[in-house]
Amino acid sequence: MATASLSAKKRANVGKGIARKLRAAGEVPAVIYGHGREPQALALNAFNLDRMLEKVSYRTTVIELDIEGATARTLIREVQRHPFKRDILHVDFQELVAGEKVTVQVPLVFVGTPEGVRTGGGILETAMRELTITVDPADIPNHIDVDVGNLTIGHSLHVSDLAIPAGVEVLEDANATVCLVAVPKAVVEPTPEETAAATAAAEPEVIRKAKTDEEEAEGAEAKTK
């Protein structure tokens, strides 16, 4: 389980106008909620928040949130960002309760080079990048390894094939495909006839409008001048 620390302060006022003022002052509006507690509006230092998020995977990291001297163990449930900038607009924290399991998405890390890729020129295709699990917060894994070293062309790994740590309950379908080694697509070279036809099709035909007798007479007169 990964952990990190962050400070926050309570705020009584809420609303879009208040949120804009907080961001202008270098702070980020946030909220903490959880089992048995009323949602509490918070304000975070934007610089400290950015530094923390650069160092940890927030989806699987327990955040020790210091709220004016009182510490709460939390998970970040949502980070809202500006659609065009890197700016963080809002953060949702869920307070963790001892003995209460949480549902999180854990990244999958693919380990090794498949045999089908090494010896057969196959291509490793991944169908899943993370796994949804239920687990005690103290046992949240940073990631789950997927050993693909023995995977041959045309074969796949499913959720049921993964080595899941003790205490972790997987919520995905056991038969869901995690990855497979696909047959490489053959590169078909065009024939000379196909190349010639494509070249001819790419060259536009120039069509000139036939001149009338009057236009030809005007052209001849212009040349004699």
Q: What pTM was estimated for this model as a whole?
A: 0.71
- Residue 53: in which H helix or E strand, if any? helix 46-55
Note the Cα 111 to chain centre separation in Å: 20
Residue 1: pLDDT band with limits 50, 70, 90: confident
Q: Which of 24-28, 97-101, 174-178 has the highest mean pLDDT?
A: 174-178
Helix H or strand E segment including 115: helix 115-120
Kindly report the backbone phi and psi dihedral angles of residue 95, in degrees, each rounded to the nearest multiple of 5, phi listed first: -75, 135
* Environment class of 7 (CB within 10 Å of its CB; exposed 0-12, middle 13-18, buried 19+): middle
Residues 82 and 28: their CA atoms lie apart, in Å, by 12
pLDDT at 195: 62
CA torsion angle for 197, 198, 200, 204 (degrees, to 10)? 150
**How many residues are there in the chain?**
225
Which residue ranges make up each domain of the chain? Answer: 2-97, 101-225
List the structure tokens of 13.
Answer: 């006022």
Structural fold of domain 2-97: Ribosomal Protein L25; Chain P (2.40.240)
Question: CATH classification of 101-225 is 2.170.120.20, yes or no?
Answer: yes
Sequence-distant (6+) residues with CB within 8 A of 131 are 105, 106, 108, 144, 159, 162, 170, 172
pLDDT-derived band at 2, boundaries 50, 70, 90: confident
Average pLDDT, the chain: 85
Amino acid identity of residue 179, one-letter, is: C
Which of the two residues, 217 and 163, has the higher pLDDT score?
Answer: 163
Rounded-to-integer distance, Cα 194 and Cα 198, Å: 6
Phi (first) and psi of residue 23, to 5 degrees = -65, -40
Element (H, E) at 107: strand 102-111
Q: What percent of the chain has pLDDT above 70?
A: 82
Choose between 14 and 55: higher pLDDT. Answer: 55
Q: Which helix (H) or strand (E) holds 70?
A: strand 70-81
Nearest Cα residue to 8 out of 108, 76, 96: 76
Q: Give the model's pLDDT for residue 201.
A: 56
pLDDT category of residue 205 using cuts at 50, 70 and 90: very low
